[in-house]
Amino acid sequence: LWNRRAFDKEITRIYNSNRGILFNALILADIDHFKDINDRYGHPVGDRILQIIAEIFQSSVRSDMFVARTGGEEFAFIVEGASEDATYEIAERIRALIEQTPFTSSQTGMNYGTVTVSLGICMASEAENPEDLYTKADRALYRSKVGGRNRVTRHSATGGRAGKGWLLYKKD
């Protein structure tokens, strides 16, 4: 996975290039209750869960997508050439894959329970620059957390059913 510095460079490069019109969205993902995992099972287990999730992220998206770890338990996906619906489907697939993954120690067989992620989406057309895009995707991610976690929320410049400026997608 790329790091935050590489992510910042890539998103700026795309916005400043002719590819900017193909750049459709930013997805931010954050592991739910990650501090609790570290507190309960220890940092080595938390680190291993981070590795597994990073592997799932890398293997579950198109090879041309840029995936980065942007913070402790936060990840970013730059989605190019996809519609809003396709971007939502990518985020929902990621969410479901993490939720369905058994997190069990290969050494002890201990089950660490269900791990989930919350995701926020912002379409590039809703943002004036890379910083605005990140801020809006981060707000959508925050709404996923506040809305109960383990869900995908899309920022919307035109408003939506879940409140002014937000559309909330809840898992079935």
- Annotated catalytic residues are 73
At a CB cut-off of 8 Å and minimum separation 6, what does 20 contact?
14, 124
Cβ of 24: how many Cβ atoms within 10 Å? 18
What sign for the dihedral angle of Cα 28, 139, 71, 12?
positive
Token pair belonging to 102: 């058994």
On the CB side of 37, CA atoms within 13 Å amount to 23
Cα distance between residue 28 and residue 151, in whole Å? 12
